[in-house]
């Protein structure tokens, strides 16, 4: 193959917000697949808050991206060369392709998807890890049941909007916390949330008092910081706090802010629990079918915000931390 | 009756550490019991970190002590007058008598105890709420199982020393965190803890690395603050953090310090859960029999530190917050 690949290698560990200078943008010939490998032309990359954590040194739920390595990213693309009988040229697949145009990699972990059944970016969103994260986080970790009041932060983000919609499907009251009137309107008017609190222009604690008058049964947290503290102050007895992320804290260079109101867990006999969606791999099939069914029935809406051009990666990623996205942020390569 | 009662009424809400001037020490005739009431001569009062929380205004798991009310306290005493057929003069009972010499109160909530089966203060300690708190917190909330590494803070305090001993009885590895070499020696040499970390003279994180090399499965927290953060940094996969108290934070006038390392819950798929022992009232009998059996078998040791004189109450209570007690702090009236 005479194809040329462009990629972003992580070459220094960011301090605070990611900068273009933390990466090296380089070009190299596309490698041919070895036995058991395929080469994928990457079409879309998933931009996720978790990527910021992967850039830090130290133990986490996955190893950090090594210096000099291609920045890790989930993506969707088309097989253009295959040395594995299970994958044919022309197949569309999702996998950890990295921030690059072409990925030559072993087939383990690749999932085939049907490009006719849904727009490709949806497989990175509601029908991908994002949807699965919302599903297992809300239903397994959060144990949401009909009648519960479910509050989700980062509610207009990729995971948050799915959490609120699944809550509604399951007969819960869904309250979203998001930044700006436009996002809040979208949650209530388009996605059917019962209420939304605009943390940029409203007092979150006061909003929770109004919209979760009997307390919060499940709080699904994507943001950490002051919003987590506000939610803790309004827990119902036996509440479940699902720790999915803490986007407000990932870029702090002063260290994390812990939830000062955590003794609300004691007062309310509540629990706060973290999870990693990978642990549910054995049940992806079951959950994926349920999510796809809801999408097909019009009960679960997907929304992707597409940004274009691999070379915009560092700046595009920052949109997440500036709250500039509504729905799933996807990079079209 | 011509008896005179002395009591401590809470007359102002303490800021920071409790002061004598937050109370009014007053005297009044002892009231005669009405129908369904008894009068108890209080012999011992339980001094508990939770008392500090009861003095604060605002919603908690019990209402605050009202200004002008007798300061709330658990105690043990002897019935000296009875207008209830279930209780006879000469019976020994535990109950919420308050910080006073005589309590005239309805019999609901009183428990008879056998003064011959154990030294009276033990009914406020291992055979009382303290033992029950350790029992349900470790076994129900913490789900401690044989082979687990259990770490407990405030380990030489009333609840902590029971937690570590029950952990050993159940086949766990027990590691205590306490202040000072003497307390640490006591935990290991007298109570059979596997290890103890002296937070006043040792680095807790480094100590946990040595003594919980495979991580912490159950962390039973009585203290909050930096020690909670250190423990969070050493959790094993699927760990349980039991939030029993936060004695390091109760007297803070700058607000609580939240656990900055709480995202360890996510990385380790762990949970942090609060509880209130009163919720387990239906199972007190079962647990009490098991605790008494362990005491009788010599597997569970009790230790009380007795301070004398009702009038020393404000200063005696401070011993808890200064870490001056080993075992259960009890006020002999």
Name which of B61, B259, B266 is nearest A276 (Cβ-Cβ): B266
Q: Do A258 and B262 touch (CB under 8 A)?
A: yes
Question: What residues contact A197, with CB distance under 8 A and at least 6 apart?
Answer: A175, A176, A177, A178, A184, A204, A207, A208, A211
Distance CA B30, CA B241 (A): 45
Smallest CA–CA distance, residue A2 to chain B, in Å, is 42
Distance CA B101, CA B6 (A): 6
- Average confidence (pLDDT) over A274-289: 95
DSSP letter for each residue of A65-110: PPTTSBPP-EEEEEEEEESSTT--TT-EEEEE--SBSEEEEESTT-
Distance CA B207, CA B181 (A): 14
Dmax over Cα atoms in chain B, in whole Å? 65
Residue B1, pLDDT score = 52
Paired sense of beta strands A37-46 and A328-332, if any? antiparallel
The H or E element containing residue B169 is helix B158-169
- Average confidence (pLDDT) over A58-71: 92
**Which residues of chain B are modeled with pLDDT < 70?**
1
**DSSP letter, residue B136:** I
Q: Do B268 and A257 touch (CB under 8 A)?
A: no
| Token pair listed for A246 | 């803490």
Between chain A and chain B, the number of residue pairs with CB atoms below 8 A apart is 106
Locate the domains of chain B by residue range: 4-124+304-332, 129-278
Name which of B244, B257, B279 is nearest A258 (Cβ-Cβ): B257
- Chain segment B25-52, per-residue pLDDT in tens: 999 999 999 999 999 999 999 999 999 9
DSSP letter for each residue of A249-314: TTT-SS-PPP-TTTTHHHHTT-EEEE--GGGGGGGHHHHHHHHHHHHHTTSS---EEEEE-GGGHH
The SS3 of residue B14 is: coil
Name which of A261, A266, A274 is nearest B265 (Cβ-Cβ): A274
- Chain segment B196-222, per-residue pLDDT in tens: 999 999 999 999 999 999 999 999 999
Residue B69, pLDDT score = 97
Name which of A243, A262, A273 is nearest B258 (Cβ-Cβ): A262
Contacts of A255 in chain B (CB under 8 A): 260
- Average confidence (pLDDT) over A52-80: 94
Contacts of A267 in chain B (CB under 8 A): 59-61, 274, 276
Q: CB of A61 within 8 A of CB of A8?
A: no
Q: Which position has the token pair 């709480």?
A: B262
Contacts of A258 in chain B (CB under 8 A): 229, 257-262
Look at residue A58 and tell me whether its pLDDT is greater than 60. Answer: yes
CA A276-A281-A283 angle, 5° bins: 115
The CATH class of B4-124+304-332 is alpha beta
Q: Name the band, by pLDDT with cuts 50, 70 and 90, for residue A254.
A: confident
For residue B197, list its beta bridge partners: B177
**Residue A174 — φ and ψ, nearest 5°?**
-115, 125
Instruction: Give me the architecture of the A129-278 domain, per CATH.
Output: 3-Layer(aba) Sandwich (3.40)
- Chain segment A79-107, per-residue pLDDT in tens: 999 999 999 999 999 999 999 999 999 99
Distance CA A5, CA A330 (A): 20
CB contact burial A162-176 (16+ within 10 A = b; e otherwise): bbbbbbbebebbbbb
Cα–Cα distances (Å) from A103 to A88, A256, A317, in that order, read: 15, 35, 20
Look at residue A1 and tell me whether its pLDDT is greater than 60. Answer: no
Q: Do B259 and A263 touch (CB under 8 A)?
A: no
Question: What residues contact B298, with CB distance under 8 A and at least 6 apart?
Answer: none
Residue A60, pLDDT score = 86
- Average confidence (pLDDT) over A104-112: 95
Residue B108, pLDDT score = 93
Q: Do B272 and A271 touch (CB under 8 A)?
A: yes
Look at residue A275 and tell me whether its pLDDT is greater than 70. Answer: yes
Domain A4-125+303-332 has CATH 3.40.50.1580: no
């Amino acid at each position: 193959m005479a194809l040329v690949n462009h990629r972003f290698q992580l070459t220094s560990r960011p301090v605070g917000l990611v900068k273009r200078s933390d990466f090296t943008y380089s070009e190299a010939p596309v490698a041919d697949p070895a036995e058991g490998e395929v080469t994928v032309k990457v079409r879309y990359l998933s931009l996720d808050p978790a990527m910021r954590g992967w850039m830090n040194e130290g133990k986490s739920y996955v190893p950090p991206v090594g210096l000099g390595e291609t920045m890790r990213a989930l993506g969707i693309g088309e097989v253009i060369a295959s040395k594995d009988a299970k994958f044919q040229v022309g197949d569309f697949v999702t996998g950890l392709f990295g921030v690059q145009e072409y990925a030559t990699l072993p087939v383990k972990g690749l999932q085939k998807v049907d490009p006719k059944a849904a727009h490709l970016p949806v497989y990175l969103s509601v029908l991908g890890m994002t949807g699965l994260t919302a599903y297992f986080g809300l239903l397994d970790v959060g144990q949401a049941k009909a009648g519960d009041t479910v509050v989700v932060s980062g509610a207009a983000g990729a995971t948050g909007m799915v959490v609120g919609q699944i809550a509604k499907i399951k007969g819960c009251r869904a309250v979203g916390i998001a930044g700006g009137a436009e996002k809040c309107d979208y949650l209530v008017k388009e996605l059917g949330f019962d209420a939304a609190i605009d943390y940029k222009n409203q007092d979150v604690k006061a909003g929770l008092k109004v919209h979760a008058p009997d307390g919060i049964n499940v709080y699904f947290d994507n943001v950490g910081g002051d919003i987590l503290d506000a939610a803790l102050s309004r827990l119902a007895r036996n509440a479940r706090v699902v720790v999915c992320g803490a986007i407000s804290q990932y870029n702090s260079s002063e260290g994390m802010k812990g939830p000062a109101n955590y003794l609300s867990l004691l007062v309310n006999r509540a629990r706060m629990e973290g999870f990693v969606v990978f642990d549910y791999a054995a049940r992806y099939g079951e959950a994926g079918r349920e999510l796809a069914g809801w999408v097909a029935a019009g009960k679960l809406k997907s929304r992707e915000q597409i940004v274009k051009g691999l070379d915009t990666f560092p700046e595009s990623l920052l949109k997440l931390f500036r709250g500039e996205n509504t729905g799933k942020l996807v990079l079209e390569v």
